[in-house]
A and B are shown apart, each in its own frame.
Chain A
């Protein structure tokens, strides 16, 4: 077979193996010259993106694919680890590669000439490996292993500035909370194995009978993965970690957070897909109860995120709270589509939620990069101490205005498209929820207008003379994200028709996912 067919056939394994191999080659490569190490990291991420693109073109046209490790064929009962890739997994992989590439380009200048950059790039590639592994795997224990790898590598990256005490405290909080959450995920996996003697997602989905132990495992999985995804009231680690890590690291931690959010989607829609319509207490089907619980948690996230962002003075922490609010919007859309499973507006809600994952990665990432540029230029974190930066940092100001309008959902930017889909579908579930969501957006706009006036407009402070524009690679990274936001806002159908609709369809079509492995038995 040709080279291209060979690469396409083995691309699931190569997507995870390439960043892993380059993470371990990096200490050896960096002995040559530091510049070689920077270029090597970006080239390897580029190679992985080519594999992701190749696999995406196949999965989006031919349906889900399986890759078995260690053997050619698949016997039932399934004992081998396998990767099962459908349109949803490849959609999340595309988001991961985009964030990782932007983070590497940004950190060329942001962390220039700092100590310990070998380990920084190694850990960055390990987090990318683990996020891609979480999104492509079809085996629950494999998912747990990749989840733990992402926890450990992200924690070490959060504590990158070890001389500041607050970074260490944020990293300690992150690792304590994340390791307890991951241990409870392992407990739930043990409960599944003890009952059904299977660890594969598709096998478990076909064997699941929704006993009492299964319900306990469901709650444990939702709470633990929700904790890793930043859902209130389990969000306490998120503003600390996002506010104290170097901003390029925040983009990398966001890939891990979004991969955990993908884990929630996979558990609810695919693993429990066959049993969501069983009837529980008060003769309500299970999906109505689960959906309404997720919707309530999402409303709490939006309100907490927005209200706490109003009172912050530390810029990075403020954007961290805005990130909590955006995760609330994603979960609101997903909860609506679960609560109304089967209705036509449920599909629209799911598409809005998935598009919002993509837009949130772009917009919140852009805002964090801008805050990093401000920190790089002025060395100050607090809004009280900066002002009048629009004169010397023109590009940064323009990008901030784009990011601010995108996050709060103003047309013609990308946030408007996804938030409009969310408002429209949530309104049909309950109008009050839609009003609260709209109010949250308006308050978020108010928060960022306050930041705009405090940081960029206003008189120039005497302590900030001599502030220059951010270096070229940082401006390039921010400009790319802002350009994507504008393009997706003007031509949303490019993204929705090619990526989001197949992803939502693949997520709702759990029977096809299961039959790829169980093979019509």
Chain B
């Protein structure tokens, strides 16, 4: 995929930070509003795909090594399973929510009835959202990047 004109590149430069922030907001507030790991990760990747279309796949592929993205993906998945194992250690059942109602990180008990949402609730759910979000960002970005690069003139031949 080749690069586009200066107008497109400037617009992509402006839109890209907003998309990333919105995607990270959706990942972080997964336990309060609709959203979560996969949805926010898909939004971030759509921002990255915007960058890919504007600057050309060869330019992006030369600057981001896909081996590093594979490492991020593995770290996200290992983080998720390690949280499940920590549930096994601290509350004697796999995937147990050991942080809910405990008063530490994300540990406040939410008030009953419909009230203002408190970010500090949820137990290990926001942490799992972060792990899944990292994995989805890295995984989908690798798929989009490799597909775009493999169909560029340099690779196709």
The answer to whether A and B touch directly, with their CB atoms under 8 angstroms apart, is: yes
Given contacts A10-B88, A17-B84, A24-B81, contact A70 B71 (CB under 8 A): no
Instruction: Choose among A17, A20, A24 the residue with the greatest number of B CB atoms under 10 Å from its CB.
Output: A24
Stretch at the interface among B47-55, B90-98, B103-111: B90-98
Return the CB mask of B64-94 against A: 1 if under 8 Å, else 0: 0000001100100110010011011000111
How many chain-B residues does the 8 Å CB contact rule pick out?
A: 16
Query: From B81, which residue of chain A is reached at the shortest CB distance?
Result: A21
Interchain CB contact under 8 A, B70 and A72: no
Contacts of B95 in A (CB 8 A): 69-70
Interchain CB contact under 8 A, B81 and A71: no
CB distance from B62 to the nearest CB of A (A): 22
> Is A341 engaged at the interface, CB distance under 8 Å to the other chain?
no
CA distance A71 to B91 in the complex (A): 9
Given contacts A17-B81, A20-B81, A24-B81, contact A10 B74 (CB under 8 A): no
Contacts of B84 in A (CB 8 A): 17
Given contacts A13-B88, A25-B78, contact A70 B70 (CB under 8 A): no
Contacts of B74 in A (CB 8 A): 24-25, 27-28
Contacts of A25 in B (CB 8 A): 74, 78
Interchain CB contact under 8 A, A70 and B78: no
Contacts of A69 in B (CB 8 A): 93-95
Interchain CB contact under 8 A, A70 and B81: no
CA distance A71 to B97 in the complex (A): 8
Give chain A's interface secondary structure class.
Answer: helix
Given contacts A20-B81, A21-B81, A24-B81, contact A71 B70 (CB under 8 A): no
CB distance from B1 to the nearest CB of A (A): 22
A-B contact count (CB 8 A): 37
Return the CB mask of A7-33 against B: 1 if under 8 Å, else 0: 000100100010011001101100000
Give chain B's interface secondary structure class.
Answer: helix
Query: From B79, which residue of chain A is reached at the shortest CB distance?
Result: A24
Given contacts A21-B81, A24-B78, contact A68 B71 (CB under 8 A): no
Contacts of B78 in A (CB 8 A): 21, 24-25
CA distance A17 to B81 in the complex (A): 8
Given contacts A10-B88, A13-B88, A27-B71, contact A71 B77 (CB under 8 A): no
Contacts of A72 in B (CB 8 A): 92-93
CB distance from A113 to the nearest CB of B (A): 20
Contacts of B85 in A (CB 8 A): 17
CB distance from A137 to the nearest CB of B (A): 13
Contacts of B81 in A (CB 8 A): 17, 20-21, 24
Given A13, A21, A27, which contacts B70 in the complex, CB threshold below 8 Å? A27
Query: From A73, which residue of chain B is reached at the shortest CB distance?
Result: B93
CB distance from A55 to the nearest CB of B (A): 14
Interchain CB contact under 8 A, B77 and A10: no
CB distance from B15 to the nearest CB of A (A): 32
Interchain CB contact under 8 A, B71 and A28: yes
Query: From B78, which residue of chain A is reached at the shortest CB distance?
Result: A24
CA distance A70 to B84 in the complex (A): 9
CA distance A134 to B95 in the complex (A): 19
CA distance A25 to B85 in the complex (A): 15
Interchain CB contact under 8 A, B77 and A70: no
CA distance A20 to B85 in the complex (A): 12
CB distance from B63 to the nearest CB of A (A): 21
Contacts of B77 in A (CB 8 A): 24
CB distance from B104 to the nearest CB of A (A): 19
Contacts of B70 in A (CB 8 A): 27
CA distance A203 to B70 in the complex (A): 41
CA distance A89 to B5 in the complex (A): 60
CB distance from B113 to the nearest CB of A (A): 22
Interchain CB contact under 8 A, B96 and A70: yes
Query: From B77, which residue of chain A is reached at the shortest CB distance?
Result: A24
CA distance A20 to B78 in the complex (A): 9
Interchain CB contact under 8 A, B93 and A71: yes
Contacts of A68 in B (CB 8 A): 93
CA distance A70 to B85 in the complex (A): 11
Given contacts A13-B88, A21-B78, A21-B81, contact A71 B94 (CB under 8 A): no
**A positions within 8 Å CB-CB of B:** 10, 13, 17, 20-21, 24-25, 27-28, 67-72
Given contacts A20-B81, A69-B94, 18 further A-B contacts (CB under 8 A): A10-B88, A10-B94, A13-B88, A13-B94, A17-B84, A21-B78, A21-B81, A24-B74, A24-B81, A27-B74, A28-B71, A28-B74, A68-B93, A69-B95, A70-B95, A70-B97, A71-B93, A71-B96
Q: List 16 A-B contacts (CB under 8 A).
A: A10-B88, A17-B84, A21-B81, A24-B78, A24-B81, A25-B74, A25-B78, A28-B71, A68-B93, A69-B94, A70-B94, A70-B95, A71-B93, A71-B96, A72-B92, A72-B93
